[in-house]
Chain A
Amino acid sequence: MKAFTFERAVSPDAAAAAARGLDRKFIAGGTNLLDLMKLGVETPAHVIDVNRTGMDEIETTPHGGLRIGALVRNADLAADPRVRRDFAVLARALLSGASPQLRNRATTAGNLLQRTRCYYFTDTTKPCNKRQPGAGCAALHGFNRIHAILGTSETCIATHPSDMAVAMRLLDATVEVIAPDGLRRDIPIAEFHRLPGDRADAETTLQPGELIVAVRLPPPLAGMHLYRKVRDRASYAFALVSLAAVIEVEAGRIRAARLAFGGVAPKPWRVEAAEHLLTGTDGGPAARKAAADAVLAQARGHGDNDFKIPLLRRVLDAAVLQALRS
């Protein structure tokens, strides 16, 4: 691991102010960052420990939503009674990710900033535009079974690995950040993660030195909350395809539906047009096919991952049928 200097920040403002300058990284859970530092993928010169800056409360907002501190651990967020009762899709997504040990450390903000599990990204002997802009993409014509079918470019076909972020996208969360100069701003989750385009290294719209302080959720959504995750093992594995869904059924018809997919794109993937195609229908085969067609309109396999296209259809079918049965 490359040597770095280390400091413990005592407040969010102090942490953000300390991030002014090059090659600085915040560390909270560290479960992803430290792993990548050992591999030589992340090489910060200065590491700012934010674990003692507060930011670890879950507050109910005046409108009935939640404000989740950046440092709330994934295990605590999933176990919170309000999250279990009113935002079950988030609890389910969190519980499907990683292991209990990792969820005890991993934070809300860090989970949003997880980096891809692309094998070529973590292997510093292989070309990767995300690691080294302009180097090329070894995944495009390499082993790409776990890679994206949507939102890719010739530069990068990596997926975003988070389950939590998929549920956050479905819930229309807002990310609160603070800059080194103390300015605070909100970023809607839909605008938080970037598509690679020709800059695969720029994964979010965070500006240099900006620190996430909280994530806000709007009031709860009615309907069945579910998170369906297809993976290579029954537990402790990243999604091949996952689906966060909140589906409200009334008298056998779908009154409202929200869908966000994981494991298929460089960011949590939500297609509002597909939701509209399900709304007001009986959720039968024709409606489900129309919705899946809308999600997959621009889908493109890269060989090993072609299976994700039919798999996504089956995951969507299963989720809608589960909601209709309930």
Chain B
Amino acid sequence: MPPDQHQTGLDRRSVLATGAAGLVVPPRAAPAPAASPSASAEETVPVQFVVNARDVALRLDPRVTLLDALREHLRLTGTKKGCDHGQCGACTVIVNGRRINSCLTLAVMHDGDSIITIEGLGRPDGLHVMQAAFVEHDGYQCGYCTPGQICSAVAMLEEVGRNMPSHVTDDLNGPVVVSDEEIRERMSGNICRCAGYPNIVAAIRAAGGLPA
């Protein structure tokens, strides 16, 4: 939010994180990224993984989900918490090349894994092809589900490339032919409460080089 920053010295994240008081008093400093806020040492478990090509070492309460480790401990808030029960897909990240719900897995189960979040797919000045396609095709409205949709879509096209079947694949033994029906089925784990589905499908079709 560059315009807001010019006026107040705050970005949208700081305002959301600190509440309205943040507008009149300086926001508190962010905690150190690797710190575990509350748990004592004997309760925590060490875990190391690679997030967006960066080595990360944390000591975490074993209850911390991968989603909370990314958002609260590493401050990678692009990945969203929607339902926190694996029903909406907003928390989708790519672990060892596979899309998963980061809310339904413990961070300490991912020692040695390689994790890609929306922040690792592209940069504001260098969008991933899927991000550019979502912009081009208006593949979002409120945007809350979008990071999950984009991570999911990127991994989905790779699954198609590996000829993985879906529920709507007629011939399980032939090559997968991507259709709108296939895209919709394969993206059914990502709910868009604004119902932006037609444009999401169009964006994925375009990013995948599939005929309109």
A interface footprint on B177-197 (CB within 8 Å = 1, 0 otherwise): 000000011101110000000
Residue from the list B63, B163, B190 in contact with A1, Cβ < 8 A: B63
Residues of B within 8 A of A92 (CB): 167, 172
A27 to B43, CA, bound (A): 18
Q: Is B34 an interface residue (CB 8 A)?
A: no
Task: Kindly identify, within residues 142 to 198 of chain B, every residue whose CB is under 8 Å from any CB belonging to chain A.
Answer: 152, 155-156, 159, 162-167, 169, 172-173, 184-186, 188-190
Q: Is B109 an interface residue (CB 8 A)?
A: yes
What's the minimum C-beta distance from A140 to chain B, rounded to whole angstroms?
26
Residues of B within 8 A of A27 (CB): 106, 109
Q: Is A206 an interface residue (CB 8 A)?
A: no
Q: Are B188 and A75 in contact (CB under 8 A)?
A: no
A228 to B40, CA, bound (A): 51
Q: Is B99 an interface residue (CB 8 A)?
A: yes
Q: Is A51 an interface residue (CB 8 A)?
A: yes
Residues of A within 8 A of B172 (CB): 84-85, 88, 91-92
Q: Is A235 an interface residue (CB 8 A)?
A: yes
Residue from the list B105, B169, B185 in contact with A105, Cβ < 8 A: B105
Q: Are B99 and A101 in contact (CB under 8 A)?
A: yes
Q: Are B99 and A100 in contact (CB under 8 A)?
A: yes
Residue from the list A30, A78, A79, A95 in contact with B104, Cβ < 8 A: A30
Q: Is B82 an interface residue (CB 8 A)?
A: no
Q: Are B101 and A95 in contact (CB under 8 A)?
A: no
What's the minimum C-beta distance from A85 to chain B, rounded to whole angstroms?
6
A35 to B173, CA, bound (A): 34
Q: Is B72 an interface residue (CB 8 A)?
A: no
Q: Are B104 and A35 in contact (CB under 8 A)?
A: yes
Residues of A within 8 A of B118 (CB): none
Task: Kindly identify, within residues 247 to 303 of chain A, every residue whose CB is under 8 Å from any CB belonging to chain B.
Answer: none
Task: Kindly identify, within residues 1 to 48 of chain B, every residue whose CB is under 8 Å from any CB belonging to chain A.
Answer: 43, 45
Q: Is A102 an interface residue (CB 8 A)?
A: yes
Q: Is B70 an interface residue (CB 8 A)?
A: no
A98 to B100, CA, bound (A): 12
A92 to B168, CA, bound (A): 9
Residue from the list B104, B108, B165 in contact with A6, Cβ < 8 A: B108
Interface residues on B, range: 35 or more
Identify the stretch in B84-92, B120-128, B130-138, B201-209 within 8 Å (CB) of chain A at 4 or more residues.
B84-92
What's the minimum C-beta distance from B95 to chain A, rounded to whole angstroms?
8
Residues of B within 8 A of A79 (CB): 162-165
Q: Are A31 and B86 in contact (CB under 8 A)?
A: yes
Q: Is A104 an interface residue (CB 8 A)?
A: yes
Q: Are B85 and A38 in contact (CB under 8 A)?
A: yes
A263 to B65, CA, bound (A): 30
Q: Is A47 an interface residue (CB 8 A)?
A: yes
Q: Is B62 an interface residue (CB 8 A)?
A: yes
Residue from the list B63, B86, B164 in contact with A102, Cβ < 8 A: B86
Residue from the list B105, B111, B156, B173 in contact with A30, Cβ < 8 A: B105
Residue from the list A6, A34, A47, A96 in contact with B167, Cβ < 8 A: A96
Q: Are A105 and B173 in contact (CB under 8 A)?
A: no
Q: Is A236 an interface residue (CB 8 A)?
A: yes
Q: Are A85 and B173 in contact (CB under 8 A)?
A: yes
Q: Are B108 and A105 in contact (CB under 8 A)?
A: no
Given A96-B167, A100-B152, 10 more A-B residue pairs with CB atoms under 8 Å apart are: A27-B109, A31-B104, A34-B105, A79-B164, A85-B172, A99-B189, A104-B99, A105-B104, A234-B185, A235-B184
4 shortest A-B CB distances, which residue pairs?
A: A99-B189, A235-B188, A6-B62, A84-B172
